[in-house]
Each structure stands twice: as C-alpha cells, then as structure tokens.
Amino acid sequence: MSYQPAARSFDTTSNPFDGVVAGQILDDEVRAFAPNLKDILARAERSIGGDLDATRALLAKASALVAEAAETQGGAREFSLGGLAPWQAKRVSAHIDAHLGDTIPVSHLAQLVTLSAGHFSRAFKRTFGDTPHGHVMRRRVETAKAMMLKSAEPLSQIAYLCGFADQAHFSRTFRKLAGATPLAWRRAHANA
C-alpha cells in the first residue's frame, strides 16, 4: 500500500493571510522567534488538509509571533524578515573572517547555511546591506588597514595575506573603499 496525499484545494481569493511565505523553519530560528512557534506551525501543517479556517488562524498566529519578534529586535540588522537568521549571519561572518586570504565562493557560503546560492545572496544583502563579494572586499580592506597600522610589512605582503590577487588589485579596491591609495592612507595614519 502506498501513501496517497489527500487532494488539497486552496482558496486563491484575497484574504488577510496573503503574503505569508512558507519556508523551512530551523530549530535555531524558532528559538529566536518564540518557543511555541514550532508547535503552531506543526498544528497548521496537520490541519491544512481538513480545516482551512483553522490553518489560516494558526498561520496568522505564527505570522504575528514572527512580526512581534522582529519588532522586539528593534529592526536590528541581525534579524530582518527575508534576511539571514542570526545563527546563519554569525556562521557566515566567522567563516569569512577565518578565510579572508582564500577565495570565498558564494556557493560555499550558501552551503554553510544550507541555502541555494541565489536565495543566500538575496538574504545576505538584506542582512549585511551589501553583496557577499562586496562584504568580503570590505572585510579585506579593514583587515589590511589594521595590518598597516600594526606592522611595517610591505604593502605587497599585506595584499597577499588579505587575499587580493596582486598589489594592483589591492590598490584599486582600497582606493575605491577607503578613498586613498594604501600608501597614502598608511602615511596619513602612521602619525595618528
């Protein structure tokens, strides 16, 4: 005997629950929203085939809990609807910081948090306010600035250690993000 799912019909007319986006809710995210959100969503899933009104009410309650959690976060950057969950943002940031000297493909970052590359890129931009590549370049420049202030290493060595292809790539990116060449920035901040 094989399992045959019950036929489901969904009302497609406009209702107060339009805009509810279904997605996979991971345990860490559930704890970030509310302890009973997982239970509410499980009950909604069980009732979806039989009682559409109960399903709608449960989804509205879950949606309200998520909205309340977002408001209590005060619009904090660590959590935004459509962005990365706090645990995902921490994991990705830690990986980027640990591997600045390496090539960091978006597909690898997406795998770290079990998302597709496209979804990850959109969520990353919503969370960090920049593309994954732009964020990595900013982190590399910030690390290079710290290295220039703390050591007398040649700029070519700093460029290599921070993951730039060569010194010219380092200079172009640094000038674009910091407003000055690495050498000019180092001289201006050496006396400060």
Identify whether 37 is part of a domain: yes
pLDDT in tens, 69-124: 655 554 444 445 688 999 999 999 999 999 999 999 999 999 999 999 999 999 99
Percent of the chain with pLDDT over 90: 53
pLDDT in tens, 20-43: 333 333 444 445 555 566 677 777
Identify whether 165 is part of a domain: yes
50: nearest Cα among 13, 17, 9, 2: 9
- Tell me: do 95 and 53 sit in the same domain: no
* Mean pLDDT, residues 4-26: 39
Identify whether 60 is part of a domain: yes
> Where does the pLDDT of residue 48 fall: very low under 50, low under 70, confident under 90, or very high at 90 and above?
confident
Identify whether 80 is part of a domain: no
Name the domain count of the chain: 3
- Tell me: do 124 and 144 sit in the same domain: no
Q: What per-residue confidence (pLDDT) applies to 99?
A: 94
Give buried/exposed letters for 76-102 (b at 16+ CB in 10 A, else e).
eeebbeebbbbbbbeebeeebeeebee
- Residue 173 belongs to domain with CATH number: 1.10.10.60
Q: What per-residue confidence (pLDDT) applies to 76?
A: 46
Query: To 10 degrees, what angle do helices 167-178 and 132-150 make?
Result: 100
- Tell me: do 185 and 147 sit in the same domain: yes
Q: How far is residue 105's CA from residue 132's CA, in Å, rounded to a whole number?
A: 9
Q: Which range marks the domain in which residue 185 is found?
A: 134-190
